[in-house]
Structure 1
């Protein structure tokens, strides 16, 4: 059985990735890392009671990461796949952005990936196997106005991914990043009908992506056959960039 931890397990993308693994891989044991707002995550786990679990995880806390990884390793004996999916954004123009908006966004999107990767690497090195998939964003390479904090954090995730991939490649561990564009999750809830129409006009495919389409990429990068893919930054954006 493969042990898989997905952070941000209570959001649309985290839930979509968790469901994809549970439905596509009968050998997968999926742990959804959550801090609060657990109802949707609990509902998914209830559908797969033998292979799904929740684990308490505040992704900006080193201690919380160490505790969560220890819990999973105690239950499963190992942790094979980490999907660093948790994150947030607080958009504002840099000239008016307050310190807390900067710190909280960088912490939730970049510090969390650092703490998570550092927590799982020792166990993966012992097993001589591991798959890490870090969720960046199209904003890392095509940043919009008002996202200096978010774009900088996600660009940092890409750089961290590429550097770490080199450090652990000989241990049988791959580290890759995904750069989603517009995906149909709660992140697009701020768009009204007209805003959604305008956004789609900027996408060559003229539609938003679906969580399952991102999950399929995660699933591939986490599989045994993707062992020669590492340090990549894969865009999932319908052709925007």
Structure 2
């Protein structure tokens, strides 16, 4: 018999922004006894990961005013203002790269900004009325993510949008949040860290730049959490994803050792 229970947690829509885990953590927070620790089985090659970056992603919707391209002053070009926003994000990324904070155990060692999609316009001779930009930043756990978000919203609301409305009042920008995932920063002295290190035989812990649900369990659930699982992130998000049999074998040994500890 187990001395303490093991809960298996299943969530949905992890890939598109960890959309399912907040409601799970809310349910856990209402339990009479919360879990003492959490192990998230993302692919780390069975290395013990105690820190990862946070991620904020959003879609910026630009609504301008259409017209004929021969009369540009009579319209508000949504693509042009969206492009200014992309340049602003690039400057923020450069600022983070140059001014930090920095942590050389991460690759890259700073908070990063990224623009992944920009779509707008219908024809070359029409002033584009609509455009959207999908963007994200991935912050170091010790970087101030709320300050970064505030800087983006401040630029949109107090600089870019007023410039658009100087031309025509019924235009604007809306930010649609896609995901807002906190980073993970679990101490090496936490019981979960010491337990998983002992079970894997690891002598060190690691940090990764990709995000997981671990940050949500830690930040919203106040549950000490590490990431440790079979497979490599190098095979993730690619055609023909796979996990080597050796990795599955190491994970099976890990689970056997965990059960042995919990039945003593």
TM-score above 0.5: no
More strand by share: 2
User: Which protein has the larger Cα radius of gyration, Structure 1 or Structure 2?
Assistant: 2
- Provide the TM-score with structure 1 as the length reference: 0.29
